[in-house]
Amino acid sequence: MLEVQNVTFHYNTQEASTPPALRNINLRIQPGETVAIIGHNGSGKSTLTRLLAAILHPTQGEVRVDDISTTARGEDLWTIRQRVGVIFQNPDDQLVANTVIDDIAFGPENLGLPRHEIEERVQEALSSLELGASAQLPISDLSVGQKQQVAIAGVLAMRPRYLLLDEPTTMLPGHLVRSLLATEQRLARERGMAVIHITHFMHEVTAFQRVLVMHQGEILLDGSPSEIFSHADQLETLGLDVPMVTRLGERLRARGWQHLSDVILTPEQLKADLCSSNSSN
Ligand code: ADP
Ligand code: MG
């Protein structure tokens, strides 16, 4: 389990008078949970990611990964590094090797795994991210989007227990966004991996079991997508939107389509609701 207890965090480089980047955060994430985090720029999402990954330590409070404090050292810190995989906003921050295949193999090699296991993991990661044809390419020839694909594949090949993705889809083309979201859900279901996915795109959020809304360093809302998007007005005051299909559902209800569910999350749900209300009219 990932556990954040009464955590406040202030960057050393921040002026003492400025508010902390995170304030009094309490959070528990179980293995197998899928969690999306939304919130406008500066709300503390990346800072929370760095604390969960033991890259930064709380100013106050404690962060624990499977009961190990992130302030641990030696063996314990190594265990945390193996269990928590992070994909950062900028792929250049995490690519280390010269070619695609070497970069993806780098993590599993560092885990000291046997050769055949490394190969199996690399092949699986290459195919999950549709990188098979690019395996031998030099990293320096790739676009930013392709670099992000390689960074994601490299972390997946480590098979972490907790996977943190900080705005991973900003630079990916649409078809890869859909396949990444499907891969995340599958890994949670089949391997019990917990997935924490930060995004600006509301339609991505509906794929997750749980959504956290951050604002000024705090977690303001924590619930299922339908719970979160039933607070459309509050989200609007925070400068956040609800998915387009949710808004459309609201408008139709306001115009007399009372049979529609309170909160519509997907086009498929809207279609099903419209068909069933048609047949009952
Ligand atoms: P988000 O990822 O939601 O955009 P961040 O976690 O990056 O938010 O930022 C939270 C707050 O911390 C902001 O006020 C930001 O200016 C500040 N901050 C982020 N990174 C640093 C840093 N390296 N040094 C000082 N302040 C930072
Ligand atoms: Mg950020």
Q: Is 49 in the pocket of ligand 1 (CB under 6 A)?
A: no
Domain boundaries, the chain: 2-231, 243-281
Q: What is the pLDDT of residue 56?
A: 97
Half-sphere exposure (Cβ direction) of 62: Cα atoms closer than 13 Å? 9
Tell me the C-alpha to C-alpha distance, in Å, between residue 148 and each of 52, 75, 87, 177: 21, 30, 8, 11
What pLDDT is recorded for position 35?
98
Q: What is the pTM of this model?
A: 0.92
- Ligand 1 binding pocket includes 41 (Cβ within 6 Å): yes
pLDDT at 171: 85
Verify whether ligand 1 is closer than 6 Å to residue 46 (CB atom): yes
Measure 200 CA to ligand 2 centroid, in angstroms: 10
User: Relative to the alpha carbon of 47, which ligand is closest?
Assistant: 1
pLDDT along the chain (281 residues), means of 10: 98 86 98 96 96 97 98 95 93 92 95 94 93 95 91 95 95 87 93 96 93 97 95 89 90 90 91 78 49
pLDDT at 280: 53
Q: So what's the pLDDT on residue 138?
A: 97
For 108-149, how does the pLDDT look when each residue is reduced to its tens digit (9 = 90+)?
999 889 999 999 999 999 998 889 999 999 999 999 889 999
Ramachandran bin of 184, using left for φ above 0, alpha for ψ from -120 to 50, beta for the remaining angles: alpha
Q: If one looks up domain 2-231 in CATH, what number appears?
A: 3.40.50.300
| Per-residue pLDDT at 176 | 85
What is the Å distance from ligand 2's center to 87 Cα?
12
- Answer yes or no: is the C-beta of 44 below 6 A from any ligand 1 atom: yes
